[in-house]
Structure 1
Amino acid sequence: MVFQTIRKQNPLIHCITNYVVANFQANGLLAIGASPVMADDSHEVEEMVAIASGLLINIGTLNERMKESMLLAGKKANALGIPVFLDPVAAGATTYRKQTVQQLLENIKFAAIRCNIGELAAIANVEWQQKGVDSGSGSISLEVEAQKVAQLYNCIVIVTGEEDFITDGKHQQWVTGGTSLMTEVTGTGCLLSAICCASYAAGNKPFDQLIETLSLYKKVAEQAASSTQYIGDFQIAVLNELHRLSKEGDE
């Protein structure tokens, strides 16, 4: 199982992320045996990413200082062959966010993009009404647009929601399961992006590893929901279940 592999390898995952979710991401990575580091100052990101197994760029609380660091770290990771993941949080909510995502995509080679349907629409330039960091509403052919984006940027695209969709531009798969409680805790999607980054670095079949990760994360949600109906407890239960799976496997 990929979570057990991550625990054995203990990869360092460099997260340039948003301050709303940094703690949850760090604890989630620790729960599966990865080593998180949340370094986002331009004076150190190139040096930090050089010793990492993967880089996550999350634009949730975007600002100019952080954008500079994202570009520096991403280019350095590319030069060293370190996989880079993009979480384009609320990419279509403002012009600044949309332009920044385009700038990142133009300057950095991403191994994968993990987004919701509204963020996919923004990247694909499909008309959509983004509602803050939520997916919003509109009309989009998810499979077609995700494949186009994957082919355009030569990367894996993961679109998460009630059902998850993953494609590398040639192959594709839907992943079902989970619980709506995941939408009531902030950062569950952001944590998934960080875990996917660790999973990508855990072997030589990244597409298959990411499919397994999406499936396991759905099971984590279901198991956590079966143990509590309270949101605060649910967040803790997610971390507990990630920890259990990485140690005991999917029993």
Structure 2
Amino acid sequence: MDIARQAAAVIGRVREKKPLIHHLTNYVTVNDCANIALAIGASPVMADDPAEVEEMVSHAGALVLNIGTLNTRTIESMLIAGKKAAALGKPVVFDPVGVGATTLRTHTAQRIIQEVRPSVIRGNMSEIKILAGMNAGIRGVDSTADEQGGEAIARELSRRLGCVIAITGKTDVIAQGDKRCLIHNGHLMLTGITGSGCMTTSLVGCCCGAVDDLFAAAVAGVAVMGIAGEIAQKTLKTGEEQGTFRMRLFDAISTMQPDTLIHYGKIN
């Protein structure tokens, strides 16, 4: 079975299994991440107090960690929840938002990688290059790095950290050891709404909570967002812009089926 069909099958499993996905994510996009999880068929929970995260993650199918809006309390919660999830063998999906922008952000990302050992890391090119020890451009939490060498960087970092690496951009790159996949879906309008990256990470988490094949899960989660962006843009009429696009994006994911991914997916 080729990777596109494997990824399509993951979407079916998410809708059948309806996994509980525990998020410790940033307050700018937390509502969008919860709703995108519901749209794909999963069940989100956003508990982030240190006193309950171990118990909550014990019930979850996967854990999503996102450092978009750091504070001391949530850093502690992420490490507690991440270690518990890892001990229980549950997938941990890490989004190193803006790593490299500040010392705290970079140090926190390093701690999560070293102490939790995430199953999947999803980031933009700047973020992944910084994790790989390379100089990269970043402005706030936005990438300014070009995509040159992304495939080799993803493969090398995947081998080094022993996890799936997903780089999202104009061309998405998913790597796990010697395996790699390129996804050519998406639309520029996705860059004009807050949280498209965070929501992609949530989709990957939903997929990881439904299947054992985390490489196929990462491909599925990333591809769903790109395909939904294309579908949403095509529905827009004159005068409909980012606000309507966001609404249509959720609609496209809510109606996403395995056959949709096979039909629209530009995956190789």
User: Do they fold alike, i.e. is TM over 0.5?
Assistant: yes
Match of 2:249 among 198, 218, 238: 238
Match of 2:34 among 26, 44, 50: 26
Runs (5+) with no aligned partner, structure 1: none
- Maintained 8 Å contact 1:118/1:137: yes
Runs (5+) with no aligned partner, structure 2: 1-7, 264-268
Does residue 1:166 correspond to 2:174, yes or no? yes
Match of 2:23 among 15, 28, 33: 15
**Structure 2: which amino acid aligns with 1:129?**
G
Q: What whole-Å deviation, never above 9, does each CA across 1:84-131 have from its counterpart, x for those lacking one? A: 010000001111111111111110021100000010121111112211
Distance 1:110 1:213 in 2: 16
Offset, 1:227? 1.1
**Structure 1: which amino acid aligns with 2:156?**
K
Matches within 5 A, 1:72-221: 72-137=80-145, 141-221=149-229
Distance 1:173 1:146 in 2: 10
**Structure 2: which amino acid aligns with 1:52?**
A
**Structure 2: which amino acid aligns with 1:178?**
G
Offset, 1:62? 0.7
- Maintained 8 Å contact 1:56/1:194: yes
Match of 2:63 among 51, 55, 58: 55
- Maintained 8 Å contact 1:46/1:76: yes
Q: What TM-score comes out, normalization by structure 2 length?
A: 0.89
Secondary structure (helix, strand or coil) at the match of 1:102 reads helix
Moved more, 238-247 or 225-234: 238-247
Give the number of equivalent residue pairs.
Answer: 251
For the structure 1 residues 92 and 140, does the alpha-carbon distance in structure 2 shift closer, same or farther, using more than 3 Å as the test?
Answer: farther
Offset, 1:155? 0.1
Moved more, 99-108 or 131-140: 131-140
- Among the aligned pairs, what percent are the same residue? 37
- Maintained 8 Å contact 1:32/1:246: no
Offset, 1:44? 0.5
Distance 1:188 1:81 in 2: 28
**Structure 2: which amino acid aligns with 1:121?**
K
Offset, 1:31? 0.8
Distance 1:71 1:187 in 2: 23
Q: What whole-Å deviation, never above 9, does each CA across 1:132-165 have from its counterpart, x for those lacking one? A: 1110236863222222211111000000011100
RMSD: 1.7
Secondary structure (helix, strand or coil) at the match of 1:245 reads coil
